[in-house]
Amino acid sequence: MTKDIYKFVGDFPELQKIMNTEETTGQSITTGNCIGNEKSVPQSFNSTIKEICEKADNYISIIQRDYYNKFNESRCIYFYYWLYHKVGVHKNINETKDVYKFMISQFNTDYGEQCMNYKDIIITEEEMLNLKVLYDMHVNLNNKSGITKTCNKICECAKECADLYMKQKDKCKSNTFPYFCNVIEEFRKKYNDKMSSSNCDTNTPSSLPSLQSNNVITLTLIPIVVTLAISSLLSMLYKFTTYGRHIRYQFMRKRNKYNNIDKGRNITQQSEICRFNLKNNSYLIL
């Protein structure tokens, strides 16, 4: 399973609204399944598993009812993300994974197959933090009111985005998380498009530099340099070593062999033509 999980972050704001939606009593059909699950999850989640189960049940129920053909994959990644940042951030990441897998099995029992492509996915703590960075950047940039938990003006929110973006410079320079940095690059283009017509002061950048340029150049040059080095090495082996002379000798032998075959074939063909012509002449005389 690849870790191309970051492409789903654009759906997170809407999925968060669904997660925070409170259904009226009686609309959820499987709440009873959230009782007595303490033995099925790590002990550190015993006090919260009922709440987690009820929220998750409500979340999937709404998606199945109102967004049946939407969020087919992102619903799973967001739930894992929500589970970590809501209740698992101070717990062992492996225990959070165990609760995620348990809840996915519950989803499959209650609603049919859910998240099957991501049932066994493992998201590390650093990847969770990467998701949080992307989520905060998207929320700040797309917030029309300019009011979030971290900023209360549009230009201030844009600056928050720019600051978060530039903090990823070293991470993308080392190319540790290529999928993450690809989404960062896509975000940069959206930011630049949106801020090109802004009236913010100089403290808020109107455009962001690419963090991938060095990586792209490096990744492009490496195969070229390797190819040239191999070509030079083979040329030196061919010209100046015994192995090269052996290759030339074998090549000359094969070429002479094929030349002799061609000559023999030509002689044979010419002989057959002569015999044919003589035979025809004899018929003409008769």
SS3 assignment, position 148: coil
Q: What is the rounded distance in angstroms from the CA atom of residue 238 to the CA atom of residue 87?
A: 66
pTM of the model as a whole: 0.69
Per-residue model confidence as pLDDT tens digits over 63-100: 989 998 899 899 999 999 999 988 877 778 999 999 99
The length of the chain in residues reads 286
Q: What is the rounded distance in angstroms from the CA atom of residue 178 to the CA atom of residue 194?
A: 25
Question: CB neighbours of 174 closer than 8 A, spacing ≥ 6?
Answer: none
Torsion of CA 167, 173, 177, 181, to 10 degrees: 70
Q: What is the rounded distance in angstroms from the CA atom of residue 33 to the CA atom of residue 40?
A: 12
Per-residue model confidence as pLDDT tens digits over 137-177: 998 888 755 556 667 688 889 999 999 999 999 999 888 89
Per-residue model confidence as pLDDT tens digits over 28-69: 445 567 888 888 999 989 999 999 999 999 999 999 899 988
pLDDT at 169: 92
pLDDT at 26: 46
| Residue 107, Cβ density class (10 Å: 0-12 exposed, 13-18 middle, ≥19 buried) | buried
| Residue 282, Cβ density class (10 Å: 0-12 exposed, 13-18 middle, ≥19 buried) | exposed
Q: What letter would DSSP give residue 143?
A: -
How many CA atoms within 13 Å lie on the side-chain side of 15?
A: 23
pLDDT at 224: 60
Per-residue model confidence as pLDDT tens digits over 16-26: 999 999 765 44
Per-residue model confidence as pLDDT tens digits over 252-283: 776 676 666 666 666 666 665 555 555 555 54
Q: What is the rounded distance in angstroms from the CA atom of residue 43 to the CA atom of residue 39?
A: 8
pLDDT at 285: 47
Q: What is the rounded distance in angstroms from the CA atom of residue 135 to the CA atom of residue 219?
A: 28
Q: Provide the pLDDT confidence category of residue 284 given band limits of 50, 70 and 90.
A: very low
Per-residue model confidence as pLDDT tens digits over 102-139: 999 888 888 777 787 888 899 999 999 999 999 999 98
Q: What is the rounded distance in angstroms from the CA atom of residue 109 to the CA atom of residue 101?
A: 13
Alpha helices by DSSP H, listed for the chain, are 12-20, 49-66, 74-83, 93-111, 125-142, 154-166, 169-173, 178-195, 213-240, 242-285
